Amino acid sequence: MIDHTHDPAALSWVAAANDPATDFPLQNLPFCRFRERGSLAPWRIGVGIGDRILDLAGWGIDDLNALMGRPRAERVALRHRLFDALKAGAPEIPLLLQAQAEFALPCRIGDYTDFYTGIHHARAVGRLFRPDNPLLPNYQWVPIGYHGRSSSIVVSGTPIRRPRGQVKPPDADGPVFQPSARIDCELELGLFVGPGNALGQPFSIDEADDHAFGLTLLNDWSARDIQPWEYQPLGPFLAKNFGTTISPWIVTMEALEPFRLPFTRPPEDPQPLPYLDSPTHRAGAAYDIALEVWLQTTAMAAPTRLSRSNLRHAYWSLAQMLTHHASNGCNLQPGDLLGTGTISGPAPEEAGSLLELTAGGRQPVTLANGEQRTFLRDGDQLGLRAFAEKPGFRRLGFGPCDGVITAAV
């Protein structure tokens, strides 16, 4: 699937797209939904190129969900047309500066499922609550997930209100209803579903790529003091659904083709059941995508990086998430969102949540200016960043995924 649109020597007539540090070179071409900042104009579908946006209204594309539902071959053909229109030597066409735009969620998100594919996160969190048995026995056999709430998914830059909820103090007989004191982030990617499948019609692991449209950064905000009281026996609820932030940009799977890796398991681990395994899947179902967590407090002039991880650490692949979700006949639809769950690495500094970085709040993180944090305070701005880079190809970025914590009401 690597073709001329991945050529690292290809340049654009948009000067900013040729900057080695840009998230959006000619080889990326991510989708968004935008309008001129401060206007009441209808939202439009656009493509990022350097520091600009190409409006796709004149291309007959006014609904990203409809594009997601098209066959992959048609999406590839559109990528080729966009590439040819924006490459050096093509006639210049009007573009909008991204700084002059405001963004909405890139598409209609009908359903949202959050998985738990980061085994290092699962083990680290498990040790906090079950030191003798951190990893539950089903984890290495089945891609674990829960159904989240799509109505509280918001675009980067939207403030996140500190939630109230039931908290059970360890020395109390019963719970109290109060603002959460342990607001946390979760470093994730979100996979947007493409065409999807009919109800009762699952697809094979080797067909999963046909149903993957693209990736976005995702922060599954979590109230860690509400979560342990309410999640048993049915799993996450109000500790998770008060806000989920995503980037306004969707990086297509076609753009990410050069960054595939073999998908392997340690030989001593259980190998996936046949419906989640194939030679093709093992050859290239993992992705090399660097992930970062950044924090800026009200006392800081610039953000500081808290941690860095990589999607290659995921225990379950994107294709396995899709295939398992539909394996019982569940009908995935264009624009459905699947979160990866927190992607932490094996080293302590690769933790994708404050819960891990602070050992459950027992070991505060010291920031560059001397401040300390166990969990997020009002006014803290938490940002996720991601990029894919590899010798012989252009670096691709995912844009911002930022949110600031505001006081409870």
Our answer to whether residue 121 is catalytic in this structure is yes
Instruction: Identify the band that residue 258 occupies on the pLDDT scale cut at 50, 70 and 90.
Output: very high
User: How many whole angstroms separate alpha carbon 388 and alpha carbon 209?
Assistant: 19
Element (H, E) at 214: strand 212-220
What was the pLDDT predicted at 129? 84
Task: Tell me the average pLDDT across 204-224.
Answer: 98
Decide: helix, strand or coil at residue 74. helix
User: How many whole angstroms separate alpha carbon 240 and alpha carbon 333?
Assistant: 23
User: How many whole angstroms separate alpha carbon 57 and alpha carbon 46?
Assistant: 8
Q: List CB contacts of 119: < 8 A, sequence separation 6 or more.
A: 135, 139, 140, 313, 314, 315
341-397, pLDDT tens digit by residue? 999 999 999 999 999 999 999 999 999 999 999 999 999 999 999 999 999 999 999
What's the chain's Rg over C-alpha atoms? 21
What was the pLDDT predicted at 183? 98
User: How many whole angstroms separate alpha carbon 341 and alpha carbon 320?
Assistant: 14
What was the pLDDT predicted at 1? 86
Percent of the chain with pLDDT over 90: 98
20-31, pLDDT tens digit by residue? 999 999 999 999
Percent of the chain with pLDDT over 70: 100
The domain 4-104 having CATH identifier 2.30.30.230: the answer here is yes
Instruction: Identify the band that residue 173 occupies on the pLDDT scale cut at 50, 70 and 90.
Output: very high
What residue ranges do the domains of the chain occupy? 4-104, 112-406
79-112, pLDDT tens digit by residue? 999 999 999 999 999 999 999 999 999 999 999 9
User: How many whole angstroms separate alpha carbon 263 and alpha carbon 182?
Assistant: 35
Q: Which CATH number applies to 112-406?
A: 3.90.850.10
User: How many whole angstroms separate alpha carbon 30 and alpha carbon 388?
Assistant: 13
CA atoms within 13 A on the CB side of 177: 2
Mean per-residue pLDDT over the chain, rounded? 97
Q: Per the residue annotation, which of 120, 121, 211, 325 is the catalytic one? A: 121
